[in-house]
Amino acid sequence: MSPRGITVGALGVLALLVVVLAAVVGTRGGGTTGAPLPSPTGPSTVAPAPPAELRTYTAAEAGRAFLDGYVDEDGQVVRPDQGGDTVSEGQAYAMLVAVGLGDAKTFARAWNWTRENLQRPDGLLSWRWEEGGVVDASSASDADLDAARALVLAGEQFGRPEYTAAGLDLGRAVLDLETVPTAAGRILTAGQWATTEPYAYNPSYASPGATAVLAAASGDPRWTELAEGSRAVTAALLSQAPLPPDWAQVRADGTVEAMPGAMGRGQSVRYGYDATRTPIRFAESCDPADRALAAAVVEPLDRGGDSAELDLGGSPVAPGESVVAAAGQAAAVAAAGDAGRAVEELVDADHLAQSAPSYYGAAWAALGRFMLTDDVLGGCPPVPATSGTA
């Protein structure tokens, strides 16, 4: 815009606003600061108009809403509410949802775009793409793990052995480059950039469902080691506080400590947009010990009501609600045996996803239903299909 007709004083105010906006854009959601590190999607920065009528979705309907709303024709997943960028997390989510739907064409488009634009020479995925190219080549281990799981499942479901091979290769890169042995067991660090001690650790990146799928497909014993280490670290965190944090650090001696961000700085330690995924990941596990960890957070979540972000005791620390928080609560109560209440929480997630549309909300409205109500992703869903939610 031309500055013609704007006073010097106004230009000064405008410059100040640009600086402030740059600082806001440079800070990513999920408990991290503006450090150039992979970090999960935060709350939406836009407020789209809600639909005239809110619906209760099946898993298939929620999945279709995500794919139709956020996956371009070429397979790129765009986050319009996060500035129009693309992250490896979103590509992996689209691949998982496409598997859930049995949508071979969308899966192929999403994987081809990911492979051509994000895959690094070492096999891992670059985290962030924007305006025609990779702007941050750091890896995000949750995306790598989800994508490997999706590829292995797609290979079997769609009769495409090349997908299986690609998933096993990506999984091997995850094990080689993003996991480390500790006294607590093998752990999944936040990415290849986090493999020096103390290890940056995101509890919601651990995925018992993914490790089980990859263990069965590969026979690599490190997947079982990773499942055991993830369980041990999550249990250690829950022995320190009622809720898991967005971020933590793990030392080689097995010491675990909640942290305010990936690099030990950021917002206060909290159960927020990252950690709310933890009970979902553990509730879909076929191992009762994992599901017990998901069930353990029911009481503190009840104290927090519908708040999107809580302190580790369950008290709200920020206004607002979120889809993934509702899905996380559904997972916890389902793991505790209350399928009826889990269905109610999933309906809340559906309605939140529609009333305040966002990439992250749509993704987890779909993934929450697939992981908790359907075994198509290789897990053991805690909500029976007879509940009418699949």
Per-residue pLDDT of the chain (390 residues; tens, 9 = 90+): 333 333 334 333 333 333 333 333 333 333 332 334 665 566 554 444 556 689 999 999 999 999 999 999 999 999 999 999 999 999 999 999 999 999 999 999 999 999 999 999 999 999 999 999 999 999 999 999 999 999 999 999 999 999 999 999 999 999 999 999 999 999 999 999 999 999 999 999 999 999 999 999 999 999 999 999 999 999 999 999 999 999 999 999 999 999 999 988 888 999 999 999 999 999 999 999 999 999 999 999 999 988 999 999 999 999 899 999 999 999 999 999 999 999 999 999 999 999 999 999 999 999 999 999 999 999 999 998 765 544
Question: Which residues, including other chains, have CB under 8 Å from residue 201's CB and lie 6 or more apart?
Answer: 187, 188, 189, 190, 194, 233, 247, 248, 249, 250, 256
Model confidence, pTM: 0.88
Domain boundaries 59-383, corresponding CATH code: 1.50.10.10
Please report the pLDDT score of residue 146 as a whole number: 99
Please report the pLDDT score of residue 265 as a whole number: 85
Please report the pLDDT score of residue 10 as a whole number: 38
Please report the pLDDT score of residue 19 as a whole number: 34
The span from the CA of 68 to the CA of 43, in Å, is 21
How do the domains of the chain map onto residue ranges?
Answer: 59-383
